[in-house]
Chains A and B, each alone.
Chain A
Amino acid sequence: MRIKTEAIGKTFNGKEVLKNISLEIEENRISCFLGPNGVGKTTLLRILNLLERPSQGKIYYDGKIYQRIDRLSLQRRMVLVAQNPVMFDTSLYHNVSYGLRVRRVKDTKRKIKQALEMVKLSGMENRSALTLSGGEMQRAALARALAIEPEVLFLDEPTHNLDPLSKEIIEDLILRSKAESRRTIVLSTHDLLQAEKLSHKVYLLKEGKIIQEGKAKEFFAFPSSSFSAEFLGIENLFKGRPIQRNGFSFLDLGKLKIEISPLEKIKQKDEVYASLRAEEILVSSQPLVSSARNSFQGKVIKMKNKGGLVELTVDCGIPFTVVLTKRSKDDLNLELGKKVYLTFKASAVHLMDSG
Protein backbone atom coordinates (compact mmCIF):
# COMPACT_ATOMS: atom_id res chain seq x y z
CA MET A 1 0.00 0.00 0.00
CA ARG A 2 1.30 3.43 -0.91
CA ILE A 3 0.93 6.08 1.77
CA LYS A 4 1.27 9.77 1.06
CA THR A 5 0.81 12.71 3.38
CA GLU A 6 0.29 16.31 2.43
CA ALA A 7 1.25 18.99 4.91
CA ILE A 8 -0.08 17.20 7.95
CA GLY A 9 0.20 18.81 11.34
CA LYS A 10 -0.86 17.91 14.84
CA THR A 11 -1.59 20.17 17.77
CA PHE A 12 -2.09 18.87 21.33
CA ASN A 13 -3.51 21.39 23.81
CA GLY A 14 -2.17 24.29 21.80
CA LYS A 15 1.26 22.70 21.39
CA GLU A 16 2.29 21.96 17.86
CA VAL A 17 3.95 18.55 17.81
CA LEU A 18 3.99 17.99 14.06
CA LYS A 19 4.34 20.65 11.41
CA ASN A 20 3.84 20.45 7.70
CA ILE A 21 4.80 16.82 7.18
CA SER A 22 4.70 15.83 3.53
CA LEU A 23 6.09 12.47 2.66
CA GLU A 24 5.58 9.47 0.48
CA ILE A 25 6.14 6.06 2.03
CA GLU A 26 7.59 3.79 -0.60
CA GLU A 27 5.93 0.45 -1.11
CA ASN A 28 7.82 -2.69 -0.05
CA ARG A 29 10.64 -0.58 1.35
CA ILE A 30 11.68 0.27 4.88
CA SER A 31 11.33 3.88 5.92
CA CYS A 32 12.58 5.24 9.20
CA PHE A 33 11.74 8.30 11.29
CA LEU A 34 14.88 9.33 13.09
CA GLY A 35 15.19 11.80 15.92
CA PRO A 36 15.49 12.07 19.70
CA ASN A 37 12.55 11.57 22.06
CA GLY A 38 9.76 14.11 21.81
CA VAL A 39 10.15 15.16 18.17
CA GLY A 40 6.83 13.64 17.13
CA LYS A 41 7.93 10.28 15.72
CA THR A 42 5.33 8.34 17.69
CA THR A 43 2.56 10.79 16.84
CA LEU A 44 3.42 10.57 13.17
CA LEU A 45 3.28 6.76 13.23
CA ARG A 46 -0.02 6.90 15.11
CA ILE A 47 -1.48 9.27 12.56
CA LEU A 48 -0.39 7.05 9.68
CA ASN A 49 -2.01 4.09 11.48
CA LEU A 50 -5.21 6.11 11.99
CA LEU A 51 -4.97 5.95 15.78
CA GLU A 52 -4.77 9.73 15.84
CA ARG A 53 -6.34 12.31 13.59
CA PRO A 54 -4.12 14.99 12.11
CA SER A 55 -5.10 18.57 12.98
CA GLN A 56 -4.28 19.67 9.44
CA GLY A 57 -3.36 18.12 6.14
CA LYS A 58 -4.35 15.11 4.12
CA ILE A 59 -3.37 11.45 4.05
CA TYR A 60 -3.76 9.27 0.99
CA TYR A 61 -3.73 5.48 0.95
CA ASP A 62 -3.19 4.10 -2.54
CA GLY A 63 -4.05 7.54 -3.86
CA LYS A 64 -7.36 7.80 -2.01
CA ILE A 65 -7.94 10.31 0.76
CA TYR A 66 -8.50 8.40 4.01
CA GLN A 67 -11.92 9.84 4.84
CA ARG A 68 -13.21 8.23 1.64
CA ILE A 69 -12.08 4.75 2.63
CA ASP A 70 -13.93 2.40 4.97
CA ARG A 71 -11.95 2.79 8.17
CA LEU A 72 -12.08 -0.84 9.29
CA SER A 73 -10.98 -2.34 5.98
CA LEU A 74 -8.15 0.19 5.77
CA GLN A 75 -7.13 -0.45 9.38
CA ARG A 76 -6.98 -4.17 8.67
CA ARG A 77 -4.28 -3.70 6.03
CA MET A 78 -1.78 -2.23 8.48
CA VAL A 79 -0.69 -2.63 12.08
CA LEU A 80 1.37 -0.70 14.62
CA VAL A 81 3.64 -2.24 17.25
CA ALA A 82 3.97 0.28 20.07
CA GLN A 83 7.22 1.19 21.78
CA ASN A 84 6.00 -0.44 25.00
CA PRO A 85 3.53 -2.98 23.71
CA VAL A 86 0.86 -4.40 25.99
CA MET A 87 -0.56 -7.91 25.99
CA PHE A 88 -4.14 -9.00 26.39
CA ASP A 89 -4.81 -10.82 29.64
CA THR A 90 -4.74 -14.29 28.12
CA SER A 91 -2.22 -16.80 26.80
CA LEU A 92 0.53 -15.92 24.35
CA TYR A 93 -1.23 -18.05 21.73
CA HIS A 94 -4.47 -16.14 22.04
CA ASN A 95 -2.64 -12.85 21.89
CA VAL A 96 -0.94 -13.78 18.65
CA SER A 97 -4.20 -15.12 17.21
CA TYR A 98 -6.14 -11.91 17.99
CA GLY A 99 -5.72 -10.20 14.63
CA LEU A 100 -6.55 -13.41 12.80
CA ARG A 101 -9.64 -14.05 14.91
CA VAL A 102 -11.09 -10.59 14.35
CA ARG A 103 -10.52 -11.06 10.61
CA ARG A 104 -12.09 -14.54 10.78
CA VAL A 105 -9.02 -15.96 9.03
CA LYS A 106 -8.79 -19.72 8.60
CA ASP A 107 -5.69 -21.79 9.17
CA THR A 108 -4.71 -19.73 12.21
CA LYS A 109 -2.68 -22.52 13.83
CA ARG A 110 -0.06 -22.61 11.11
CA LYS A 111 0.22 -18.82 10.93
CA ILE A 112 0.61 -18.49 14.68
CA LYS A 113 3.23 -21.22 14.73
CA GLN A 114 5.17 -19.44 11.98
CA ALA A 115 4.91 -16.06 13.66
CA LEU A 116 6.14 -17.44 16.98
CA GLU A 117 9.01 -19.22 15.25
CA MET A 118 10.07 -15.97 13.60
CA VAL A 119 10.44 -14.23 16.96
CA LYS A 120 11.83 -17.37 18.65
CA LEU A 121 9.02 -17.80 21.15
CA SER A 122 7.95 -21.26 20.03
CA GLY A 123 6.88 -23.55 22.84
CA MET A 124 5.59 -20.73 25.00
CA GLU A 125 2.09 -20.71 23.47
CA ASN A 126 0.31 -21.50 26.72
CA ARG A 127 2.18 -19.03 28.90
CA SER A 128 0.12 -16.17 30.25
CA ALA A 129 1.21 -13.26 28.08
CA LEU A 130 1.31 -10.97 31.11
CA THR A 131 4.16 -12.98 32.61
CA LEU A 132 6.51 -12.44 29.65
CA SER A 133 9.65 -10.38 30.14
CA GLY A 134 10.02 -7.01 28.42
CA GLY A 135 12.00 -8.40 25.52
CA GLU A 136 9.71 -11.38 25.11
CA MET A 137 6.71 -9.09 25.17
CA GLN A 138 8.18 -6.92 22.42
CA ARG A 139 8.81 -10.03 20.33
CA ALA A 140 5.33 -11.36 21.11
CA ALA A 141 3.85 -8.06 19.96
CA LEU A 142 5.84 -8.33 16.76
CA ALA A 143 4.60 -11.91 16.23
CA ARG A 144 1.04 -10.73 16.88
CA ALA A 145 1.47 -8.11 14.16
CA LEU A 146 3.29 -10.41 11.71
CA ALA A 147 0.66 -13.15 12.03
CA ILE A 148 -1.78 -10.83 10.27
CA GLU A 149 0.62 -10.53 7.33
CA PRO A 150 -0.07 -6.80 7.07
CA GLU A 151 0.70 -4.78 3.98
CA VAL A 152 2.21 -2.07 6.15
CA LEU A 153 3.97 -2.64 9.45
CA PHE A 154 4.60 0.32 11.75
CA LEU A 155 7.25 -0.22 14.43
CA ASP A 156 7.73 2.42 17.11
CA GLU A 157 11.25 2.16 18.55
CA PRO A 158 11.26 -1.63 18.05
CA THR A 159 14.39 -2.34 20.06
CA HIS A 160 14.27 0.41 22.66
CA ASN A 161 15.48 -0.79 26.10
CA LEU A 162 15.67 -4.42 25.05
CA ASP A 163 18.01 -7.19 26.09
CA PRO A 164 20.69 -7.93 23.48
CA LEU A 165 19.11 -11.21 22.38
CA SER A 166 15.69 -9.71 21.72
CA LYS A 167 17.28 -6.76 19.98
CA GLU A 168 19.20 -9.07 17.70
CA ILE A 169 16.14 -11.20 16.88
CA ILE A 170 14.07 -8.15 16.00
CA GLU A 171 16.82 -6.47 13.99
CA ASP A 172 17.42 -9.71 12.08
CA LEU A 173 13.74 -9.92 11.21
CA ILE A 174 13.72 -6.36 9.93
CA LEU A 175 16.96 -6.95 8.03
CA ARG A 176 15.49 -10.01 6.37
CA SER A 177 12.50 -7.95 5.39
CA LYS A 178 14.86 -5.29 4.04
CA ALA A 179 16.66 -7.83 1.88
CA GLU A 180 13.45 -9.38 0.60
CA SER A 181 11.71 -6.04 -0.02
CA ARG A 182 8.28 -7.62 0.23
CA ARG A 183 6.68 -5.58 2.95
CA THR A 184 6.31 -1.90 3.64
CA ILE A 185 7.77 -1.14 7.04
CA VAL A 186 7.84 2.23 8.73
CA LEU A 187 9.86 2.37 11.91
CA SER A 188 11.07 5.02 14.30
CA THR A 189 14.31 5.15 16.21
CA HIS A 190 16.57 7.62 17.95
CA ASP A 191 19.60 5.60 16.93
CA LEU A 192 21.30 6.86 13.78
CA LEU A 193 23.28 3.68 13.33
CA GLN A 194 20.18 1.56 13.62
CA ALA A 195 18.35 3.79 11.16
CA GLU A 196 21.11 3.34 8.64
CA LYS A 197 21.36 -0.38 9.21
CA LEU A 198 17.68 -1.23 9.03
CA SER A 199 16.11 1.11 6.53
CA HIS A 200 16.19 2.14 2.90
CA LYS A 201 15.19 5.71 3.57
CA VAL A 202 15.50 7.91 6.63
CA TYR A 203 13.48 10.97 7.58
CA LEU A 204 15.27 13.10 10.12
CA LEU A 205 12.85 14.89 12.42
CA LYS A 206 13.47 17.93 14.54
CA GLU A 207 10.82 19.71 16.58
CA GLY A 208 7.98 18.14 14.65
CA LYS A 209 9.42 18.84 11.22
CA ILE A 210 11.25 16.73 8.69
CA ILE A 211 14.56 18.51 8.26
CA GLN A 212 16.30 16.02 6.05
CA GLU A 213 15.50 12.87 4.16
CA GLY A 214 17.63 10.35 2.32
CA LYS A 215 20.10 7.75 3.45
CA ALA A 216 21.35 8.10 7.00
CA LYS A 217 25.00 8.03 6.03
CA GLU A 218 24.45 10.98 3.75
CA PHE A 219 23.59 13.01 6.83
CA PHE A 220 27.20 12.63 7.81
CA ALA A 221 28.20 14.56 4.76
CA PHE A 222 27.14 17.67 6.63
CA PRO A 223 28.91 17.33 9.92
CA SER A 224 28.94 21.06 10.32
CA SER A 225 25.20 21.28 10.68
CA SER A 226 24.30 21.57 14.31
CA PHE A 227 21.82 18.70 14.19
CA SER A 228 24.57 16.15 14.45
CA ALA A 229 25.92 17.51 17.69
CA GLU A 230 22.77 18.44 19.55
CA PHE A 231 20.37 16.11 17.91
CA LEU A 232 21.98 12.78 17.66
CA GLY A 233 24.35 13.29 20.55
CA ILE A 234 27.28 12.38 18.34
CA GLU A 235 29.86 15.10 18.45
CA ASN A 236 32.61 13.64 16.29
CA LEU A 237 31.83 12.61 12.77
CA PHE A 238 34.48 11.48 10.31
CA LYS A 239 34.67 10.40 6.75
CA GLY A 240 37.60 8.21 5.80
CA ARG A 241 39.02 5.16 4.14
CA PRO A 242 39.34 1.93 6.12
CA ILE A 243 42.72 0.23 5.77
CA GLN A 244 44.25 -2.92 7.16
CA ARG A 245 47.85 -3.18 8.26
CA ASN A 246 49.57 -6.02 10.14
CA GLY A 247 46.22 -7.45 11.15
CA PHE A 248 45.00 -4.17 12.61
CA SER A 249 42.33 -1.96 11.12
CA PHE A 250 42.62 1.78 10.76
CA LEU A 251 40.58 4.60 9.41
CA ASP A 252 42.56 6.98 7.26
CA LEU A 253 41.22 10.46 7.77
CA GLY A 254 43.91 12.13 5.69
CA LYS A 255 45.87 13.98 8.32
CA LEU A 256 45.34 11.27 10.90
CA LYS A 257 44.95 7.52 11.10
CA ILE A 258 42.79 6.20 13.92
CA GLU A 259 42.69 2.59 14.92
CA ILE A 260 39.31 0.89 14.82
CA SER A 261 37.91 -2.50 15.84
CA PRO A 262 39.13 -5.26 13.53
CA LEU A 263 37.12 -5.44 10.36
CA GLU A 264 36.19 -8.74 8.83
CA LYS A 265 36.45 -7.54 5.32
CA ILE A 266 37.49 -4.24 3.92
CA LYS A 267 36.75 -2.95 0.50
CA GLN A 268 39.77 -0.77 -0.09
CA LYS A 269 38.06 1.81 -2.23
CA ASP A 270 35.14 2.39 0.09
CA GLU A 271 34.81 5.57 2.00
CA VAL A 272 33.00 5.11 5.24
CA TYR A 273 31.54 7.37 7.87
CA ALA A 274 32.41 6.95 11.50
CA SER A 275 31.26 8.46 14.75
CA LEU A 276 32.87 8.94 18.12
CA ARG A 277 31.04 10.25 21.17
CA ALA A 278 32.69 13.05 23.09
CA GLU A 279 32.30 11.15 26.37
CA GLU A 280 34.49 8.34 25.04
CA ILE A 281 37.58 10.52 24.84
CA LEU A 282 39.96 10.96 27.79
CA VAL A 283 41.89 14.21 28.16
CA SER A 284 45.30 14.30 29.87
CA SER A 285 48.19 16.73 30.08
CA GLN A 286 50.77 13.89 29.77
CA PRO A 287 50.74 10.93 27.36
CA LEU A 288 48.76 8.07 28.94
CA VAL A 289 50.00 4.53 29.23
CA SER A 290 46.84 2.51 28.68
CA SER A 291 45.20 -0.24 26.69
CA ALA A 292 43.37 2.33 24.55
CA ARG A 293 44.73 2.12 21.03
CA ASN A 294 44.37 5.74 20.02
CA SER A 295 46.30 8.63 21.56
CA PHE A 296 46.96 11.96 19.88
CA GLN A 297 48.50 15.22 20.89
CA GLY A 298 46.56 18.36 20.11
CA LYS A 299 45.88 21.95 21.00
CA VAL A 300 42.76 23.32 22.72
CA ILE A 301 41.22 25.72 20.23
CA LYS A 302 37.78 26.25 21.73
CA MET A 303 36.15 25.99 25.15
CA LYS A 304 32.42 26.22 25.77
CA ASN A 305 30.48 25.95 29.03
CA LYS A 306 27.55 23.58 28.93
CA GLY A 307 25.81 23.47 32.29
CA GLY A 308 28.19 21.72 34.66
CA LEU A 309 30.26 20.46 31.76
CA VAL A 310 32.86 21.96 29.49
CA GLU A 311 33.01 21.17 25.81
CA LEU A 312 36.47 21.39 24.31
CA THR A 313 37.52 21.44 20.72
CA VAL A 314 40.99 20.01 20.36
CA ASP A 315 42.90 20.26 17.11
CA CYS A 316 44.94 17.11 16.46
CA GLY A 317 45.24 17.73 12.75
CA ILE A 318 41.52 17.33 12.62
CA PRO A 319 39.24 18.77 15.30
CA PHE A 320 37.88 16.52 18.06
CA THR A 321 35.08 17.49 20.40
CA VAL A 322 35.55 16.36 24.00
CA VAL A 323 33.38 16.79 27.07
CA LEU A 324 34.62 16.93 30.64
CA THR A 325 33.50 18.27 34.00
CA LYS A 326 34.44 21.72 35.25
CA ARG A 327 36.47 20.14 38.03
CA SER A 328 38.50 18.05 35.59
CA LYS A 329 39.07 21.14 33.50
CA ASP A 330 40.38 23.05 36.55
CA ASP A 331 42.53 20.10 37.67
CA LEU A 332 44.14 19.95 34.24
CA ASN A 333 44.60 23.73 34.14
CA LEU A 334 43.07 23.83 30.72
CA GLU A 335 43.10 27.02 28.72
CA LEU A 336 43.04 27.99 25.08
CA GLY A 337 46.16 27.02 23.19
CA LYS A 338 47.28 24.47 25.79
CA LYS A 339 48.69 21.15 24.55
CA VAL A 340 46.79 18.06 25.66
CA TYR A 341 46.61 14.36 24.85
CA LEU A 342 43.40 12.69 23.71
CA THR A 343 42.97 8.95 24.26
CA PHE A 344 40.18 6.65 23.14
CA LYS A 345 39.62 2.97 22.46
CA ALA A 346 39.45 1.54 18.98
CA SER A 347 36.06 0.08 19.88
CA ALA A 348 34.68 3.55 20.66
CA VAL A 349 34.79 4.38 16.96
CA HIS A 350 31.57 3.30 15.26
CA LEU A 351 31.58 2.70 11.55
CA MET A 352 28.55 3.27 9.39
CA ASP A 353 27.72 0.45 7.08
CA SER A 354 28.17 1.75 3.60
CA GLY A 355 26.17 -1.09 2.03
Chain B
Amino acid sequence: MIEIVSFLDGEVLGIVLLSFRVSLTAIALSCLLSLPLSLLLALKNFPGRRVIISIINSLLAVPAVAIGLVVYLFLTRRSPLGALGLLYSPWAMIIAQGLLAIPIITSLALAAFQSVSRQIRETAITLGASSHQFILTIFRESRYSLIAVLIMGFARVIGETGMTMMVGGNIKGSTRVMTTAIALETMKGNFELAITLGIILLAVSLLIGVPLQLLQGAGKR
Protein backbone atom coordinates (compact mmCIF):
# COMPACT_ATOMS: atom_id res chain seq x y z
CA MET B 1 0.00 0.00 0.00
CA ILE B 2 2.78 2.42 0.96
CA GLU B 3 4.55 1.48 -2.23
CA ILE B 4 1.50 2.22 -4.35
CA VAL B 5 0.89 5.54 -2.63
CA SER B 6 4.49 6.50 -3.16
CA PHE B 7 3.83 6.30 -6.88
CA LEU B 8 1.40 9.18 -6.56
CA ASP B 9 4.33 11.42 -7.23
CA GLY B 10 4.94 14.04 -9.85
CA GLU B 11 5.02 11.55 -12.70
CA VAL B 12 1.73 9.86 -11.90
CA LEU B 13 0.04 13.14 -11.23
CA GLY B 14 1.34 14.49 -14.54
CA ILE B 15 -0.03 11.46 -16.39
CA VAL B 16 -3.45 11.79 -14.74
CA LEU B 17 -3.67 15.51 -15.39
CA LEU B 18 -2.63 15.08 -19.02
CA SER B 19 -5.28 12.41 -19.50
CA PHE B 20 -7.95 14.77 -18.24
CA ARG B 21 -6.63 17.74 -20.19
CA VAL B 22 -6.53 15.82 -23.47
CA SER B 23 -9.91 14.16 -23.11
CA LEU B 24 -11.75 17.21 -21.76
CA THR B 25 -10.36 19.38 -24.57
CA ALA B 26 -11.33 16.73 -27.12
CA ILE B 27 -14.90 16.62 -25.79
CA ALA B 28 -15.15 20.42 -25.63
CA LEU B 29 -13.97 20.80 -29.23
CA SER B 30 -16.21 18.07 -30.58
CA CYS B 31 -19.17 19.71 -28.82
CA LEU B 32 -18.52 22.88 -30.80
CA LEU B 33 -19.40 20.93 -33.91
CA SER B 34 -21.68 18.20 -32.56
CA LEU B 35 -24.16 20.25 -30.53
CA PRO B 36 -25.07 22.82 -33.23
CA LEU B 37 -25.23 20.00 -35.78
CA SER B 38 -27.50 17.83 -33.67
CA LEU B 39 -29.65 20.83 -32.79
CA LEU B 40 -30.04 21.61 -36.48
CA LEU B 41 -30.88 17.98 -37.26
CA ALA B 42 -33.40 17.86 -34.43
CA LEU B 43 -35.23 21.10 -35.21
CA LYS B 44 -35.05 21.65 -38.96
CA ASN B 45 -36.24 19.50 -41.77
CA PHE B 46 -34.04 20.11 -44.79
CA PRO B 47 -33.04 18.09 -47.83
CA GLY B 48 -30.17 15.77 -46.99
CA ARG B 49 -31.06 15.61 -43.30
CA ARG B 50 -31.70 11.86 -43.36
CA VAL B 51 -28.46 11.26 -45.28
CA ILE B 52 -26.46 13.17 -42.67
CA ILE B 53 -28.10 11.21 -39.87
CA SER B 54 -27.31 7.87 -41.53
CA ILE B 55 -23.70 8.94 -42.12
CA ILE B 56 -23.34 9.88 -38.45
CA ASN B 57 -24.83 6.58 -37.38
CA SER B 58 -22.46 4.66 -39.65
CA LEU B 59 -19.51 6.63 -38.24
CA LEU B 60 -20.44 5.28 -34.80
CA ALA B 61 -19.25 1.89 -35.96
CA VAL B 62 -15.84 3.03 -37.18
CA PRO B 63 -13.17 1.41 -34.97
CA ALA B 64 -11.00 3.83 -33.02
CA VAL B 65 -7.85 2.31 -34.46
CA ALA B 66 -8.99 3.30 -37.96
CA ILE B 67 -9.44 6.89 -36.79
CA GLY B 68 -5.98 6.69 -35.29
CA LEU B 69 -4.57 5.52 -38.63
CA VAL B 70 -6.26 8.32 -40.56
CA VAL B 71 -5.08 10.97 -38.11
CA TYR B 72 -1.59 9.47 -38.22
CA LEU B 73 -1.51 9.61 -42.02
CA PHE B 74 -2.65 13.23 -42.03
CA LEU B 75 -0.12 14.36 -39.43
CA THR B 76 2.93 12.37 -40.43
CA ARG B 77 5.85 14.48 -41.65
CA ARG B 78 5.35 13.75 -45.35
CA SER B 79 1.63 14.56 -45.29
CA PRO B 80 0.12 18.00 -46.06
CA LEU B 81 -0.33 18.75 -42.36
CA GLY B 82 3.05 17.29 -41.43
CA ALA B 83 4.69 20.69 -41.28
CA LEU B 84 2.59 21.57 -38.24
CA GLY B 85 4.58 19.00 -36.30
CA LEU B 86 1.52 17.79 -34.41
CA LEU B 87 2.21 14.07 -34.53
CA TYR B 88 3.26 12.67 -31.13
CA SER B 89 2.00 15.81 -29.39
CA PRO B 90 -1.00 16.14 -27.07
CA TRP B 91 -2.83 17.89 -29.93
CA ALA B 92 -2.61 14.76 -32.06
CA MET B 93 -4.36 12.87 -29.27
CA ILE B 94 -6.93 15.62 -28.87
CA ILE B 95 -7.70 15.53 -32.60
CA ALA B 96 -8.06 11.75 -32.66
CA GLN B 97 -10.19 11.62 -29.51
CA GLY B 98 -12.28 14.54 -30.76
CA LEU B 99 -12.96 12.77 -34.05
CA LEU B 100 -13.91 9.64 -32.15
CA ALA B 101 -16.32 11.61 -29.97
CA ILE B 102 -18.05 13.63 -32.73
CA PRO B 103 -20.39 10.91 -34.04
CA ILE B 104 -21.09 9.64 -30.51
CA ILE B 105 -22.01 13.06 -29.16
CA THR B 106 -23.89 14.12 -32.28
CA SER B 107 -25.97 10.99 -32.36
CA LEU B 108 -26.76 10.94 -28.63
CA ALA B 109 -27.38 14.71 -28.45
CA LEU B 110 -29.73 14.42 -31.43
CA ALA B 111 -31.73 11.86 -29.47
CA ALA B 112 -31.67 14.15 -26.43
CA PHE B 113 -32.91 17.16 -28.39
CA GLN B 114 -35.53 15.08 -30.14
CA SER B 115 -36.85 13.96 -26.79
CA VAL B 116 -37.97 17.56 -26.21
CA SER B 117 -41.49 17.21 -27.53
CA ARG B 118 -43.03 19.33 -30.24
CA GLN B 119 -45.54 20.56 -27.64
CA ILE B 120 -42.74 21.91 -25.43
CA ARG B 121 -41.16 23.67 -28.39
CA GLU B 122 -44.48 25.21 -29.41
CA THR B 123 -45.17 26.23 -25.82
CA ALA B 124 -41.92 28.21 -25.83
CA ILE B 125 -42.88 29.85 -29.12
CA THR B 126 -46.43 30.74 -28.17
CA LEU B 127 -45.18 32.19 -24.86
CA GLY B 128 -43.01 34.54 -26.88
CA ALA B 129 -39.49 33.07 -26.87
CA SER B 130 -37.07 34.59 -29.38
CA SER B 131 -34.86 32.23 -31.41
CA HIS B 132 -32.02 32.19 -28.92
CA GLN B 133 -34.38 31.96 -25.92
CA PHE B 134 -35.99 29.06 -27.74
CA ILE B 135 -32.66 27.26 -28.14
CA LEU B 136 -31.79 27.90 -24.48
CA THR B 137 -35.13 26.33 -23.54
CA ILE B 138 -34.36 23.24 -25.64
CA PHE B 139 -31.00 22.93 -23.88
CA ARG B 140 -32.60 23.37 -20.48
CA GLU B 141 -35.33 20.83 -21.18
CA SER B 142 -32.79 18.22 -22.32
CA ARG B 143 -30.17 19.06 -19.69
CA TYR B 144 -30.20 15.68 -17.92
CA SER B 145 -29.74 13.76 -21.15
CA LEU B 146 -27.14 16.22 -22.42
CA ILE B 147 -24.95 15.90 -19.35
CA ALA B 148 -25.25 12.14 -19.66
CA VAL B 149 -24.17 12.44 -23.31
CA LEU B 150 -21.08 14.42 -22.34
CA ILE B 151 -20.17 11.96 -19.60
CA MET B 152 -20.55 9.02 -21.94
CA GLY B 153 -18.41 10.72 -24.58
CA PHE B 154 -15.76 11.57 -22.01
CA ALA B 155 -15.69 8.04 -20.60
CA ARG B 156 -15.32 6.63 -24.09
CA VAL B 157 -12.34 8.80 -25.09
CA ILE B 158 -10.44 8.79 -21.79
CA GLY B 159 -10.46 5.00 -21.88
CA GLU B 160 -9.16 4.82 -25.46
CA THR B 161 -5.73 3.16 -25.71
CA GLY B 162 -4.54 1.95 -29.11
CA MET B 163 -5.51 5.02 -31.10
CA THR B 164 -4.09 7.36 -28.50
CA MET B 165 -0.81 5.47 -28.50
CA MET B 166 -0.58 5.51 -32.32
CA VAL B 167 -0.86 9.28 -32.65
CA GLY B 168 0.55 10.32 -29.28
CA GLY B 169 3.45 7.95 -29.14
CA ASN B 170 3.25 7.42 -25.36
CA ILE B 171 6.24 9.70 -24.79
CA LYS B 172 7.16 9.99 -21.12
CA GLY B 173 6.45 13.45 -19.75
CA SER B 174 4.84 14.59 -22.99
CA THR B 175 2.10 12.35 -24.33
CA ARG B 176 1.89 9.55 -21.79
CA VAL B 177 -1.66 9.26 -20.52
CA MET B 178 -3.25 6.79 -18.11
CA THR B 179 -4.28 4.14 -20.61
CA THR B 180 -1.05 4.13 -22.60
CA ALA B 181 0.99 4.11 -19.40
CA ILE B 182 -0.98 1.17 -18.01
CA ALA B 183 -0.47 -0.76 -21.26
CA LEU B 184 3.24 -0.04 -21.28
CA GLU B 185 3.92 -0.69 -17.59
CA THR B 186 1.98 -3.96 -17.69
CA MET B 187 4.03 -5.16 -20.64
CA LYS B 188 7.18 -4.14 -18.81
CA GLY B 189 6.06 -6.11 -15.76
CA ASN B 190 5.99 -2.91 -13.71
CA PHE B 191 2.72 -3.75 -12.05
CA GLU B 192 2.85 -1.23 -9.21
CA LEU B 193 2.53 1.76 -11.51
CA ALA B 194 0.08 -0.08 -13.77
CA ILE B 195 -2.12 -0.94 -10.81
CA THR B 196 -1.97 2.58 -9.37
CA LEU B 197 -3.03 4.09 -12.67
CA GLY B 198 -5.55 1.33 -13.18
CA ILE B 199 -7.16 2.12 -9.83
CA ILE B 200 -7.30 5.82 -10.69
CA LEU B 201 -8.81 5.11 -14.11
CA LEU B 202 -11.32 2.74 -12.56
CA ALA B 203 -12.17 5.31 -9.90
CA VAL B 204 -12.71 7.93 -12.57
CA SER B 205 -15.02 5.63 -14.52
CA LEU B 206 -16.98 4.72 -11.42
CA LEU B 207 -17.17 8.28 -10.19
CA ILE B 208 -18.54 9.62 -13.45
CA GLY B 209 -20.97 6.75 -13.40
CA VAL B 210 -22.50 8.02 -10.15
CA PRO B 211 -23.74 11.40 -11.45
CA LEU B 212 -24.90 9.57 -14.57
CA GLN B 213 -27.10 7.29 -12.48
CA LEU B 214 -28.36 10.23 -10.43
CA LEU B 215 -29.15 12.21 -13.56
CA GLN B 216 -31.02 9.36 -15.14
CA GLY B 217 -32.99 9.00 -11.93
CA ALA B 218 -33.74 12.72 -11.94
CA GLY B 219 -34.65 12.68 -15.61
CA LYS B 220 -37.20 9.92 -15.10
CA ARG B 221 -39.24 11.88 -12.61
Task: Name A's B-contacting residues (CB within 8 A).
Answer: 49, 51, 72, 75-76, 78-80, 82, 84-86, 88-90, 98-99, 102-103, 128, 130-131, 144-145, 148
Contacts and interface: CB of A to CB of B under 8 A. Distances in A.
What class of interface size applies to chain B in its complex with A?
10 to 19
B138 to A, nearest CB: 11
Contacts of A84: 119
6 contacts: A51-B126, A75-B128, A79-B127, A79-B128, A86-B117, A144-B127
B119 to A, nearest CB: 4
B126 A89 contact: no
Interface in B120-144: 120, 122-130, 133, 137, 140-141
B141 A51 contact: no
B44 interface: no
Nearest to A86: B119
Contacts of A131: 221
For the complex of A and B, 9 pairs with smallest distance between CB atoms: A76-B128, A99-B127, A86-B119, A80-B126, A102-B129, A102-B133, A102-B128, A98-B127, A79-B126
Nearest to A79: B126
Contact of B128 (A51, A72, A86, A89): A72
Contacts of B125: 51, 75
Contacts of B124: 98
A78 B128 CA distance: 8
Contacts of B119: 82, 84-86
B221 A102 contact: no
A193 B126 CA distance: 28
Interface of B: 117, 119-120, 122-130, 133, 137, 140-141, 221
B137 A88 contact: yes
B123 A102 contact: no
Contacts of B141: 88-89
A227 to B, nearest CB: 31
B120 A88 contact: yes
Contacts of B130: 72, 102
A344 B174 CA distance: 92
A149 to B, nearest CB: 12
Most chain A beta-carbon neighbours within 10 Å: one of B123, B130, B133, B221? B123
A297 B117 CA distance: 57
A64 B158 CA distance: 58
Contacts of A144: 127
A304 B109 CA distance: 58
